[in-house]
Amino acid sequence: MGIIEKMRLDGKKIFVTGGARGIGKSVATAFAEAGADIAIVDLDLEEAKKTARELEENNGIQSIAIKADVTNPEDVNAMIEQVLETFGRLDVAFCNAGICMNIPAEEMTYEQWKKVIDINLSGVFLTAQAAGKVMLKQGGGSIINTASMSGHIVNVPQPQCSYNASKAGVIQLTKSLAVEWAARNVRVNSISPGYIGTELTLNSPSLQPLIQQWNEMAPLGRMGKPEELQSICVYLAGDTSSFTTGSDFVIDGAFTCI
């Protein structure tokens, strides 16, 4: 069997949080194209259903939509139960849901700070923890967390201290879980995308001046595309990455090198 065949995900059962659109949808599409069955988890159930239907129709796999708030332990546990009831097992978790608020630190309310931390960091912990419990019982699995280059640098010119702190936390959480679970065959890695041109980002009038500045600073002179995150996630989800755990993969067009 060649390396391309070895990287397929046929028979894998995966959930993707924040999977209805953007990066989550793009990576879920790659998982489906590689043969995996996918649970699309999102607060927007109608959009999640639409994405799940597209994955089924285009790839001949099974896909379901689940509404869940990743900051609510009861929602997360119910989501896991639905995944297991439908698929019978869980092989891969892509903990991807996240938000960003651009607010000067001196003006940020505690509620605003807490919302970003709750979704971006606590939400990743809750979903990774729930997935890990299942995978530890099964004897193995792969967890992929979405961090950010913002966990490595301080972005400018936008003020986003809560986002940066949350993503730095995701990177260290990933390493901690990887070490705790390594001997029991549950791998945990993270991806740290740079600026990615999702449909929502590119169509936001308020972001256009920032995008121009980001592109002027970027060594490649452009934002990344959601599909440029697909291959690393397929690799981490599959069996060819069996010696890869506790790693953070920065996919930013060399932005953090400057």
Of 163, 166, 190, 192, the active-site residue reads 163
For the question of residue 235 being annotated catalytic, the response is no
Q: Give the three-state DSSP class for 244.
A: coil
User: Is 20 within 8 Å of 40 (Cβ atoms)?
Assistant: yes
Residues paired with 95 in a beta bridge: 145
Question: Burial level of 115, CB count in 10 A (0-12/13-18/19+)?
Answer: middle
Task: Calculate the alpha carbon distances from 203 to 51, 134, 163, 188, 192 in Å.
Answer: 20, 39, 21, 33, 22
Of 26, 63, 142, 148, the active-site residue reads 148
Of 150, 167, 195, 241, the active-site residue reads 167
Separation between Cα atoms, residue 205 and residue 131, nearest integer Å: 37
For the question of residue 110 being annotated catalytic, the response is no
Catalytic residue list: 148, 163, 167
